DNA sequence: CGGAATCCCAGTTGATACTG
DNA sequence: CAGTATCAACTGGGATTCCG
């Protein structure tokens, strides 16, 4: 079970899942949409997600070849808890930023 | 915002938060409860959580000294989305394990 | 275009020892 | 007990290169 959360909690996994939540996307498009991900990491992330059955891979024998990735039903089902977390992060962004700033000013230990 | 999710998605953060969700705990107790965490990593994780205002640190001037950590209101509020994710992981553990096994047997690409 | 293989550095982590 | 300090080891991931 730790394995599963580790995969979801991975640096890129959430971002890729979010990107695929919008619509199915091709490899190159994912590269453009997910900020700062390298080709290597994108490939790896996609493989692991495919392995876990969260996404499916569809090859089109065009020239040049194109590969489309889309969320499986299982992949869709994880979006709910994921969005809940993202919403929490957004809602508490200010509080956390403030807490960090205060802590970094050395005032963390003095009770407010 | 990526910063926040990165912190939550960290390997140990979730486990520590879950452990503190049960009840406030002292350092040594956390070491025992969180599997395989090293003293070093526990210290670091606690510092970062304290910095973000998710937990509070209470020192008791006993001999030997004891330090108790507990969730702040902000820390409590993150438990809901976190549990949602944990529940998802538990509910789909079997499916994912099965998907992995099939993929590792080289049957991942042949449509079912 | 999509992806595999190789190289290689930088940052993370674990072990160990020391302190208040 | 609850850390801090130091160093070695490991690993992730970027850059690069090549292939179908």
SS3 annotation, chain B: CHHHHHHHCCCCHHHHHHHHHHCCEEHHHHHHHCCCCCHHHHHHHHHHHHHCCCEEEEEECCCCCEEEEEECHHHHHCHHHHHHHHHHHHHCHHHHHHHHHHHHHHHCCCCC
Query: Band of the pLDDT at B41, cuts 50, 70, 90?
Result: very high
Residue A108, pLDDT above cutoff 60:
no
pLDDT tens for each residue of B49-103: 999 999 999 999 998 999 999 999 999 999 999 999 999 999 999 999 999 999 9
User: Could you tell me the pTM of the whole model?
Assistant: 0.90
- Chain B residues 8-37 within 7 Å (CB) of strand C: 11, 36-37
Q: How far is A4 from chain B (nearest CA, A)?
A: 6
Q: Find the mean pLDDT for residues B34-51.
A: 96
Residue of B nearest to A86 (CA): B5
Per residue in A50-103, pLDDT (tens digit) is: 999 999 999 999 989 999 999 999 999 999 999 999 999 999 999 999 999 999
- Between residues B39 and A108, the one the model is more confident about: B39
CA atoms within 13 A on the CB side of B71: 17
Smallest Cα distance from B90 to chain A, Å: 7
The answer to whether the CB atoms of B4 and A95 lie below 8 A apart is no
Q: What is the pLDDT of residues A59-71, one digit of tens each?
A: 999 989 999 999 9
């Amino acid at each position: 079970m730790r394995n599963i959360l580790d995969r979801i909690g991975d640096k890129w996994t959430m971002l890729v899942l979010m990107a695929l939540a919008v619509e199915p996307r091709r490899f190159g498009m994912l590269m453009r949409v997910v900020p700062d991900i390298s080709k290597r990491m994108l490939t790896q992330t996609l493989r692991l997600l495919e392995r876990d059955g969260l996404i499916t891979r569809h090859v089109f024998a065009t020239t040049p070849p194109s590969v489309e990735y889309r969320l499986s039903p299982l992949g869709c089902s994880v979006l709910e808890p994921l969005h809940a977390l993202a919403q929490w992060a957004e809602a508490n962004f200010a509080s956390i930023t403030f807490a960090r700033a205060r802590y970094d000013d050395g005032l963390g230990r003095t009770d407010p």
